[in-house]
């Protein structure tokens, strides 16, 4: 079976799954943009799968487009053929002009498509009107919808997707980077000492790092906090840490690549994901894969997948909730987890579920 993966930008955390898909099918990945400055993502050829950047116009984020999380694109002549020359297209987003164009053309030409949908009801900004109708139309045309957990499943059910067209999977992380490497780095390290919390992500308002700093400053003793990432709020957050009197116990690392993040996870004890809005929350799974405890906002998509898991505290993303989670994690600390938990999904599992969805979409198209 020939598969095309269609996405905005080449994300490093997706690459293990793309390599697995290349092992299971005749596979190409196509991307709209060669970079995404905000998240430091840039296209590069990968030895594990065929990939290319399509010819497309990137629209400037001005006016109404400023409110969107991602850049919008218009496909240039010839690009659509590169996407649809396949048996099945796997699409990662509906909230993209180019995705709507591909979906329209796929329906006309009889090319089935699968949607990988991470959006949850909590992360949804628009639940009515024209935007909601476009989302429902886009999902209705998919031969299958693959979702990484129960929160995303609830969202597509609410959009009218029939249960038999949904394939539930997990969001996978690279076990070489986040399982093996941290354990190698911390071999023989004493798990005691002051508790070290870590937050990984863009320093933007919805990541809620300001509230995390305030909650952290209210803890007694001498815990430490590592902040990994950069963004528009970096300078203000540094100033906030200084005003709280904890600048000597908070380390701002700036942007780090995956290998560098794994090295920080090797030295820290509990990851905190305090976002006020989070479609999924990869960092929580990366941290659990690395053997850490996790304090996670209850509005993050990953929270439903981790409900009831050992070493996980789900909290409200306000100061009281985050502080309670920090205190509970510090009290419970008994050392890094040796084994990789079952919910730390493997790339092989995710790829197998995507192929299953693609086969379902192709069979459905043949039966029509």
Mean pLDDT of 334-354: 86
Distance CA 279, CA 300 (A): 6
14 within 8 A of 44, measured Cβ to Cβ: no
Which CATH code of 3.40.630.10, 3.40.50.12780, 3.40.50.2000, 3.30.70.260 fits the domain covering 175-332? 3.40.50.2000
268 vs 197: CA distance, rounded Å: 6
Distance, in Å, from the CA atom of 155 to the CA atom of 124, rounded to the nearest integer, reads 9
pLDDT value at residue 126 = 65
Segment 232-245 mean pLDDT: 97
Residue 223 has pLDDT above 80, yes or no: yes
Of 1-5, 34-38, 207-211, the poorest mean pLDDT is in: 34-38
Q: Per-residue pLDDT for 280 more than 80?
A: yes
Q: Is the pLDDT of residue 94 over 90?
A: no
Domain parsing of the chain, residue ranges? 2-172+346-367, 175-332
Q: Which CATH architecture has domain 2-172+346-367?
A: 3-Layer(aba) Sandwich (3.40)
Average pLDDT over the chain, rounded to an integer? 92
Identify the band that residue 95 occupies on the pLDDT scale cut at 50, 70 and 90: confident
Q: Where are the alpha helices (DSSP H) in the chain?
A: 15-24, 79-84, 97-109, 129-140, 150-158, 175, 181-185, 209-217, 234-244, 258-265, 282-289, 301-306, 319-332, 347-367
Percentage of the chain with pLDDT > 90?
77
Query: What local confidence, expressed as pLDDT, does residue 69 receive?
Result: 65
**308: alpha, beta or left? (left if phi > 0; alpha if psi -120 to 50):** left
Would the CATH topology of 2-172+346-367 be identical to that of 175-332?
yes
Determine the pLDDT at residue 5.
Answer: 98
Q: Does residue 225 contact residue 250 with C-beta atoms inside 8 Å?
A: yes
How do strand 72-75 and strand 56-59 relate by DSSP bridges?
Answer: antiparallel
Residue 105 neighbours by CB distance under 10 Å: 16
In tens, the pLDDT along 186-214 reads 998 899 899 999 999 999 999 999 999 99
Model confidence band, residue 258 (pLDDT cutoffs 50, 70, 90): very high
- Inform me whether the pLDDT recorded for 28 exceeds 70: yes
pLDDT range class, residue 234, cuts 50, 70, 90: very high
């Amino acid at each position: 079976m020939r598969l095309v993966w269609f996405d905005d930008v080449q994300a490093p955390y997706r690459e293990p799954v793309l390599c697995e898909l290349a092992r299971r099918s005749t596979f190409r990945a196509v991307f709209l943009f060669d970079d995404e400055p905000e998240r430091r993502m840039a296209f590069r050829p990968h030895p594990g799968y065929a990939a290319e950047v399509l010819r497309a116009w990137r629209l400037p984020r001005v006016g109404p487009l400023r409110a969107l999380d991602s850049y919008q694109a218009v496909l240039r002549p010839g690009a659509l053929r590169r996407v649809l020359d396949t048996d099945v297209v796997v699409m990662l987003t509906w909230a993209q002009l180019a995705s709507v164009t591909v979906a329209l053309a796929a329906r006309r030409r009889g090319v089935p498509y699968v949607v990988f949908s991470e959006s949850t009801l909590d992360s949804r900004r628009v639940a009515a009107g024209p935007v909601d109708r476009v989302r429902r139309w886009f999902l209705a045309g998919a031969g299958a919808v693959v979702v990484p957990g129960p929160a995303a499943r609830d969202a597509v059910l609410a959009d009218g997707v029939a249960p038999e067209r949904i394939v539930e999977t997990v969001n996978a992380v690279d076990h070489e980077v986040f399982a093996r490497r941290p354990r190698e780095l911390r071999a023989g390290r004493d798990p005691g000492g002051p508790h070290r919390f870590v937050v990984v992500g863009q320093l933007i308002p919805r990541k809620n790092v300001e509230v995390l700093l305030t909650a952290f400053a209210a803890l007694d003793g001498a815990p430490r906090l590592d902040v990994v990432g950069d963004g528009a709020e970096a300078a203000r957050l540094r100033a906030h840490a200084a005003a709280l009197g904890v600048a000597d116990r908070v380390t701002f690392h700036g942007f780090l690549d995956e290998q560098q993040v794994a090295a920080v996870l090797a030295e820290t004890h509990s990851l905190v994901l305090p976002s006020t809005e989070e479609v999924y929350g990869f960092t929580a799974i990366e941290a659990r894969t690395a053997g850490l405890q996790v304090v996670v906002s209850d509005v993050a998509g990953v929270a439903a997948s981790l409900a009831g898991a050992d070493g996980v505290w789900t909290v409200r993303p306000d100061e009281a909730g985050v502080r309670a989670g920090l205190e509970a994690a510090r009290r419970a600390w008994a050392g890094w987890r040796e084994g990789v938990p079952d919910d730390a999904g493997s790339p092989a599992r995710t790829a197998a579920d995507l192929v299953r969805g693609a086969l379902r979409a192709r069979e459905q198209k043949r039966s029509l």
